[in-house]
Amino acid sequence: MSRNTENVPKGIRTKPGHCGEIRGQCLALACLKLLDEKVDGLLDELLRRVVFLAGALLVPAELKNRIEQRVRDLTPEKATELYMYTAAQMRIDQLLDADFPDVAEAFLDSEFKAATSWSVPGRAVHRLRQQLRLHFLRREWEEIQRYETPEGVPEQEKAAAKDAIEFFRGLASLKMDKGLAQDAETRFEKLQRAHPDVAAYAVNLHAARVALLLGQNSFGYLDAEKQGDAFRVISEGQGARSLFRDLTPDDEAILRLNNAVLFLAVRQPAQAIDSLDRIPATAKPQETAFAYRAIALARGGEPWLARGVLEAGVSQFGNSDTLEAARKNIQSETPYAGRVNIASDPDVVSTIKRSLHNLMALDPGEQARVLTAGNGNVGDFLLTQFREAAAAMIDLAPMMRALNADSIEDDISAVFKEILHARLGHIRWSVSDQGRGGFTPKEGPGERDFTIKKDAAVLAVGEAVMTRHKTTHKFTRGELKSHLEKLFAYATCPAYFHVTYEMSGDEAGVIEHLRKISSEILIEGIEFIRHEEIPFVDSAPRGFTAIYRSAAGMQTVHFLVLDFHQGRQKTAAKASDASNPRK
């Protein structure tokens, strides 16, 4: 089957990560059928990569120890080197999902040391969430309650970081021995009210309310005065399933498990079994499902079936506290101060959707502050986009030359515009070329080379000029100056872009002349203030910024010179060819 889903019907395409999940489940099956040395070979192969360990551990309890020991022996040095940040994060998440906090911590430390900065979008919050999950798996409740947003988290991610911390504080309150269910309910209610589209908040709010009702006996019966509240909470759990269309199988399972234990508490074992039967087959297996089903069967008059269910649970999970408590409750109604089922990590997809929706709702200035380092403005954000688009244009220059698309200014601008549009379309900023606006000398509408808009508002205007001759030519000097003056005639906005397609080999001369004419501009109401350098740090074009004062306020013109002549590269290529000993 095609790996890129081309020519593959939509209904049978695989979701991201699906292949890893299948590998994990295949390993579980292999453990049942293959010889020991073959199983060891599979472990060595799969555990060095990204594998869905939770799936690999779906084996009888006596085989899990072998797999778990191999995982604990895994170190970053032994593992396959991964070159994508997302793949490295997936490996850590899978180790956490399979309850290997110590191994996950080693990979988390390794990933942090290897990373160059916190600048990858979302990386800081993802790492924070993984650190909190480590504390959670180790039952370090006090550490979670004391946890604060670390230094280095970008300003635009601090709100998400705060939400993640509150989320895990709520979980810790539910899991503590003293069981602070009221505190958990308050935290999750606040999170759910602020972000009603995040399923994990609603799932855990439901769990907190179940915990409040059950108190210190998860397998007990509720008094008559509490049964009305129990049915209301059951209804909330059922409503949450229809409210969230993208509810994950695991989250749906948690809602049904918690409803099942409430049905047991109101003496409706048949309803509890029905709730358990509706758990999605793709959800992660839970030992509580075996415990609740066994108790429901026993209370429904089928103790022999209950014993079989418990034996199946012990075969898969070992003789856990929950399964042993269920056995004792069936035998003598022994109370059990267990904990409700919870969603231990918020749904990242929903979080991303919410963030993107909120970003779209901001005005352009606020969007720019979110998307730039140091709370930049619209001009700062667009400068980055123009420079990176220009870098792509320069890289494409040899191919454009082969297609004869590098000699006509409008053709180059059309390609430039499409690259810019691809970079700005996700925030609904439009890019148009040859858009009409402003004035010509005859006071008719001018034709702008680039116009950046958000809805009807013009955010920036750009002019492009091609220099075929060096600045010793009067025509070249006049073209550069004329296009600068056009900018102020075409729109009143805070940022302008003067883009030069330099074809003559006089890049330094063009930049020097632009500095001169930008500081000597003679337009009434426009006062030159200063120049600021654009740092030369990558393949983006050289240039500078000129800052002006006008009646409209401070205005900037960003000058970018794209070296389409590429004389240095051509000279180096010829020198390399001359030195080639193979010729």
Chain mean pLDDT for the chain: 79
- Residues 228-240: what's their mean pLDDT? 93
Contact 497, 546 (CB under 8 A): no
Rounded CA gap, 201 and 193, in Å? 9
- Say if residue 423's pLDDT is above 90: no
Residue 34 buriedness (CB in 10 A; 0-12 / 13-18 / 19+) = middle
> 355-363 long-range contacts, Cβ below 8 Å, gap at least 24?
355/160, 359/427, 360/427, 360/428, 363/454
pLDDT of residue 63: 54
How does residue 227 score in pLDDT terms, banded at 50, 70 and 90? very high
> Could you give the percent of the chain with pLDDT greater than 70?
75
Higher pLDDT, 547 or 570: 547
The crossing angle, in degrees rounded to 10, of helices 303-317 and 287-299 is 170
Q: Sorting pLDDT into bands at 50, 70 and 90, what band is 2?
A: very low
Q: Which of 50-59, 205-214, 217-226, 255-264 has the lowest mean pLDDT?
A: 50-59
- Looking at residue 400, its pLDDT comes to 65
What confidence score (pLDDT) does residue 13 get? 36
Report the percentage of the chain scoring pLDDT > 90: 34
Q: Which residue has the higher pLDDT, 396 or 228?
A: 228
- 39-83 pLDDT per residue, tens: 444 444 444 444 444 444 444 555 556 666 666 666 666 665 554
567 has pLDDT over 80? no
Strand, coil or helix: 498 = strand
331-378: per-residue pLDDT in tens? 998 888 877 788 776 655 555 555 666 677 788 888 888 777 666 788
Surface-to-core class of residue 284, CB atoms within 10 Å of its CB (0-12 exposed, 13-18 middle, 19+ buried): middle
Kindly state the average pLDDT of the residues 505-517: 93
Is the pLDDT at 478 greater than 80? The verdict is yes
Q: Has residue 548 got a pLDDT over 50? A: yes
pLDDT at 354: 55
Segment 321-339 mean pLDDT: 89
Q: What is the pLDDT of residue 497?
A: 94
**Token digits of residue 480:** 């550069």
pLDDT at 524 over 70: yes
Per this entry, what is the length of the chain?
Answer: 583
414, HSE (Cβ side, Cα atoms, 13 Å)? 8
Task: Give residue for tokens 């991201």.
Answer: 16
From residue 131, how far is each of 166, 188, 432 by CA, in Å?
Answer: 14, 20, 45
Cβ atoms of 291 and 325 within 8 Å: the answer is: yes
Per-residue pLDDT, averaged over 102-131, amounts to: 71
Distance of CA 104 to the CA centre of its chain: 20
Q: What is the pLDDT of residue 6?
A: 43
Mean pLDDT of 546-566: 90
**DSSP class per residue in 348-389:** HHHHHHHHHHHHHHS-HHHHHHHHSTTS--HHHHHHHHHHHH
Residue 9 has pLDDT above 50, yes or no: no
Domains in the chain (CATH in brackets) are 15-115 (no CATH), 132-148+156-361 (1.25.40.10), 380-570 (no CATH)
The pLDDT of residue 121 is above 70: no
Per-residue pLDDT reduced to its tens digit, 133-178: 889 988 899 999 999 998 878 888 888 899 999 999 999 998 886 6
What average pLDDT score do residues 188-203 get?
90
pLDDT score of 22? 43
Would you tell me the crossing angle of helices 36-47 and 18-33 to the nearest 10 degrees? 160
Q: Which helix (H) or strand (E) holds 114?
A: helix 101-114
Contact (CB, 8 A) for 371 and 384: no
Residues 6+ apart with CB under 8 A from 524: none
